[in-house]
Amino acid sequence: MLKFTAEHEWLKLEGDVAIVGITQHAADQLGDLVFVELPEVGATFDKNGEAATVESVKAASDVYCPLAGEIVEINEAITADPALVNSDPQGKGWFFKLKLANVADADELLDEAAYKELIG
Amino acid sequence: MKRRGQAPSTELVRPESAHDLEALLTDHAPLLTTPLHALHLSLGARMVPFAGYDMPVQYAAGVLKEHLHTRAKAGLFDVSHMGQVLVKANSGSVADAALALERLVPVDILGLKQGRQRYGFFTDENGGILDDLMITNRGDHLLVVVNAACKGADLAHMQAHLAGCSVTLLDDRALIALQGPAAETVLASLAPEVATMKFMDVRDVTLVGAACIVSRSGYSGEDGFEISVPATKAEELARALLAHEDCEPIGLGARDSLRLEAGLCLYGNDIDTTTSPIEASLEWAIQKARKAGGEREGGFPGADRILGELANGTERRRVGLKPDGKAPVRSHAKLFADAEGKNEIGEVTSGTFGPSVEGPVAMGYVPTAFASAGTQVFAEVRGKYLPVTVAALPFITPTYKR
């Protein structure tokens, strides 16, 4: 099940774990990324906690944790090559896997149609 | 996802420095536009407010590719927001205009030959920097180019203090920079004679039928030109240059990363009224004639402090800073002597990712004891203290045609 946030993250839910990344729209708006900082495996975040940082040539942006949970895996490929986030943001450019504190929380998130409407 | 430290709706130019302060102050006033505004829109530029103007921060290629294109081929920049000011002595003698301007600028302007350009700065009574500028001897007058955010103040400053001179803002001219190793080829396709110009030469050149003033200079660390063109012919000239296969439009984003790799100061970030030229490591711009023992020693605002610092040194210096890791260290990051953040020693004034360096680059002020290349300091970024090495400027090797 694919979900989205108004902060331009996507979540692919598999049981109680969500793969999290930023949307194509977000990647396009940020421009070419040159640096990505990911959280540590085992770190826990509340909803909207600052979980990762991405930087373009000009600016730094925070990536929020879309739901409360624990980081169980990170994608080190994007710290080695931040351009992966631009070239394949909803595939190889994923950020981290999040074990949700409460799976039902995901019901509040946007579905793809609602997100597409949001970004116009 | 959210931009750090500002509303996400404004892109890429952070509200800091005098430039941006002016943009903020004029936030509710209609933005000014340059004669190339319609061209920027037609090229798909992302526009931002900058120094009161609606300016292109990037085009479709994006900051990274625009930066690399400029270093590989040729980039065209709209810098029409900058102030072009004509200074003419009532006597008709350029020497009189030079001597008048020397009372505001600690640079040898009298010794500047016809058709030559030189870098300088207006100083204040405390020895701080009011603005930096380019000065050209045009034979019977001086042409001065100042920063957009300062041009009103600079104009008033010159009108108040340049006795016996007329000071006129040329607001009917655009300014186009063409930078990069292919800049000569691109401009020579319209006017072959520019190929014989050397770095800091200035000439009258007819381009697309318009009387232009061309200087071989710029703000990228690359060979290149700046072209003053009548506003009515600016778009035609820009389109003629962009028609060359090596020439692409470049926005303010790449302009900033290019100048930072080249070690060049941005007024309002790296230099301002709180920094003296010597603290800013700009003593190279003060020629012998204006120094102690020179033919026209002193005689500019803040001379006591500036000449004193030339003789005795300063407590702090502007230096290059090369972060050891991959994380960019940006302006206003605090600098420390230790990795625990106990002994604060200075601040980063400009910092970004340098696409040509393929890593982060920065500049900032440190105590003189920490100013030698190779010295290790630490920058605070998101609560961590990242190792940074003091580095010689520039970060790239300039390709000026001397």
**pLDDT reported for residue B9:** 33
Question: How far apart are the C-alpha atoms of B265 and B122, rounded to whole Å?
Answer: 14
Nearest to A62 among B4, B14, B330 (CB): B4
Beta-carbon pairs below 8 A across chains A and B? 73
Interface ipTM = 0.90
**pLDDT reported for residue B177:** 98
**Torsion angle of C-alpha atoms A43, A47, A53, A54, degrees rounded to 10:** 130
**Strand boundaries in B223-367, DSSP class E:** 224-230, 247-249, 316-323, 334-336, 344-354, 359-367
Backbone angles phi, psi at B149, to 5 degrees: -70, -20
B129-137 and B117-123 as β-strands: parallel, antiparallel, unpaired? antiparallel
| H or E element at residue B98 | helix B94-102
A3 interfaces chain B, CB cutoff of 8 Å? no
At B213, is the secondary structure helix, strand, or coil? strand
Record the pTM. Answer: 0.93
Answer yes or no: do A32 and B2 touch at CB < 8 A.
no
**pLDDT reported for residue B5:** 53
Answer yes or no: do B14 and A9 touch at CB < 8 A.
no
**H helix runs in B145-206, sequence order:** 151-161, 183-188
Do B370 and B345 meet the contact criterion of CB atoms below 8 Å apart? yes
Do B264 and B221 meet the contact criterion of CB atoms below 8 Å apart? yes
Question: How far apart are the C-alpha atoms of B24 and B29, rounded to whole Å?
Answer: 10
A118 interfaces chain B, CB cutoff of 8 Å? no
Do B98 and B159 meet the contact criterion of CB atoms below 8 Å apart? no
**pLDDT reported for residue B312:** 97
Selected residue of B1, B63, B69, B250 to mutate for chain A interface (largest A Cβ count, 10 A):
B1
**pLDDT reported for residue A37:** 97
How far apart are the CA of B24 and the nearest CA of chain A, in angstroms? 18
Question: In chain B, which residues touch A (CB < 8 A)?
Answer: 1-4, 11-14, 57-58, 62-65, 67, 253-254, 256-257, 326-328, 330, 352-353, 355, 360, 382
Retrieve residue B288's tokens.
């012998």
A102 vs B29 pLDDT, higher one: A102
The string of pLDDT tens digits covering residues A12-35 is 999 999 999 999 999 999 999 999
- Going along chain B from its start, the domains and CATH numbers come out as 75-243+261-314 (3.30.1360.120), 315-402 (2.40.30.110)
How far apart are the CA of A35 and the nearest CA of chain B, in angstroms? 6
Backbone angles phi, psi at B313, to 5 degrees: 85, 180
Which residues in chain B are closer than 8 Å to A64, comparing Cβ atoms? 1-2
Answer yes or no: do B12 and A34 touch at CB < 8 A.
no
- Going along chain A from its start, the domains and CATH numbers come out as 2-110 (2.40.50.100)
**pLDDT reported for residue B19:** 42
Q: Is the backbone peptide bond immediately before B398 cis, with ω within 30 degrees of 0?
A: no
How would you write the pLDDT of chain B (402 residues) with one tens digit per residue? 777 754 333 333 333 333 444 444 445 678 999 999 999 999 999 999 999 999 999 999 999 999 999 999 999 999 999 999 999 999 999 999 999 999 999 999 999 999 999 999 999 999 999 999 999 999 999 999 999 999 999 999 999 999 999 999 999 999 999 999 999 999 999 999 999 999 999 999 999 999 999 999 999 999 999 999 999 999 999 999 999 999 999 999 999 999 999 999 999 999 999 999 999 999 999 999 999 999 999 999 999 999 999 999 999 999 999 999 999 999 999 999 999 999 999 999 999 999 999 999 999 999 999 999 999 999 999 999 999 999 999 999 999 999
The string of pLDDT tens digits covering residues B238-291 is 999 999 999 999 999 999 999 999 999 999 999 999 999 999 999 999 999 999
